[in-house]
Amino acid sequence: DGGITQSPKYLFRKEGQNVTLSCEQNLNHDAMYWYRQDPGQGLRLIYYSQIVNDFQKGDIAEGYSVSREKKESFPLTVTSAQKNPTAFYLCASSMQLSGANVLTFGAGSRLTVL
Amino acid sequence: AQRVTQPEKLLSVFKGAPVELKCNYSYSGSPELFWYVQYSRQRLQLLLRHISRESIKGFTADLNKGETSFHLKKPFAQEEDSAMYYCASKYGQNFVFGPGTRLSVLP
């Protein structure tokens, strides 16, 4: 079953703790993305990676970090420096389809800071 | 910065009525535009792309470069169309999303 797997689905964290969200894809996509979804704000790009061992900051990268050591994996770490980390996080990957990149999304991870 | 706007947070229509979800973008080049949909308890998924000029589930969207718009339309709404709809624009390697419109189709 091809697709994107995010884990955990729900995560609770105490203030001051770092937490890592997992994102794995078996679609053989080169590009991977992390978005944050907040009500009324749509999806905001945190980080993206076009190729292994390379990644770029998105619009709201402060307080987050990523790595891309393998093509299939793009974990996101929410650090204690992130001021408002409670949110729904979506991972996505993209392929070329008929000349247009198309995003495929995971099911998401909901992080709650207590 | 690239922006995608969707002026309606919530749109309610009756079953069988026409529906139009508005989307405007800011981009001076040749944009790639998309509509994504998220049904209840399902993943966000692609609905349609402007480049393919296709109709999916009865929905169409036409790119109007003069008005920088990419409105989503369906002539007769169905209850199963109730969902959250996001307009998105691709520039470079990034995708920019609008804030979304929740469509509620009433019986």
Instruction: Centre a 10 Å sphere on the Cβ of residue A90 and count the other Cβ atoms it contains.
Output: 24
pLDDT at res. B27 = 72
Tell me how far apart the alpha carbons of residues B25 and B5 are, in angstroms, rounded to a whole number.
6
Interchain CB contact of A40 with B (< 8 Å): yes
Q: Which of A28, A5, A1 is nearest to A107 (CA)?
A: A5
> What tokens were used for B62?
């036409």
Contact B49 A102 (CB under 8 A): yes
User: Residue B53 pLDDT > 80, yes or no?
Assistant: no
Residue A62 — pLDDT band, cuts 50, 70, 90? very high
Helix (H) or strand (E) holding B97: strand B94-97
Cβ(A96)–Cβ(A44) below 8 Å: no
A103 and B95: CB-CB below 8 Å?
Answer: yes
Identify the CA nearest to A58 among candidates A77, A44, A41: A44
pLDDT category at A100 given cuts 50, 70, 90 is low
* Closest Cα in chain B to A40: B99
CB B40 within 8 A of CB B18: no
